[in-house]
Amino acid sequence: MKIRSSLGILIGMALTGSVGLLLLLLGCALPPFSNWWPMFVVCFYILGPFPLAIARRLDRHDVFSSDSNHVAYEIAYFVSSFIVVSAFGFTVLLGHKGIIEPLAALCVSIGNLLMFVTIFCYFIFFRGDDDDWEFSTLY
């Protein structure tokens, strides 16, 4: 049952990530928009998980346990939240300056939300070592 539930979560995360990337591409490629500047948010998708991965390597304790009040995790949360806010801010800035259409900014923002939720769910549900993809729940 453990493998089946982790497979379902993995399929759900793949679907959510795919829809997020589809919305990003639609916000860039549709003929009324046809502006590829919003594709730079992919850099934020790539940079987003790095602080938490580095903090996990520095401290092998569980991220969400009560005894894990370490400085590395606090700094990683701060830097990761800065990256997430920057991704949304970049989209809003492009929309405010008129570089992209407001509807394109909305599509890209919803895509951002879905992609960052997918990355967050990955860090919650798959907290095992690199050797074994151990599934762990929140409770």
Instruction: Establish if 130 belongs to a structural domain.
Output: no
Question: Using the 8-state DSSP alphabet, how is residue 38 labeled?
Answer: G
pTM: 0.80
From 125, 117, 120, select the one nearest 2 (Cα to Cα). Answer: 125
Instruction: Establish if 7 belongs to a structural domain.
Output: yes
From 106, 107, 108, 137, select the one nearest 124 (Cα to Cα). Answer: 137
* More confident call, 8 vs 108: 108
Report whether pLDDT(91) > 80: yes
Domain hosting 27: range is: 2-125
Per the CB < 8 A criterion, the answer to whether 107 and 27 are in contact is yes
- The reported pLDDT for the residue numbered 139 is 40
Contacts of residue 91, Cβ cutoff 8 Å, sequence gap at least 6: 38, 41, 100, 105, 108, 109, 112
Instruction: Establish if 138 belongs to a structural domain.
Output: no
Considering its fold, how many domains does the chain have in total? 1
Per the CB < 8 A criterion, the answer to whether 52 and 80 are in contact is yes
Instruction: Establish if 78 belongs to a structural domain.
Output: yes
Instruction: Establish if 137 belongs to a structural domain.
Output: no
Contacts of residue 61, Cβ cutoff 8 Å, sequence gap at least 6: 67, 68, 70
Instruction: Establish if 132 belongs to a structural domain.
Output: no
Instruction: Establish if 135 belongs to a structural domain.
Output: no
Report whether pLDDT(67) > 80: no
- Give per-residue pLDDT as tens, 96-121: 999 999 999 999 999 999 999 999 88
Contacts of residue 88, Cβ cutoff 8 Å, sequence gap at least 6: 109, 112
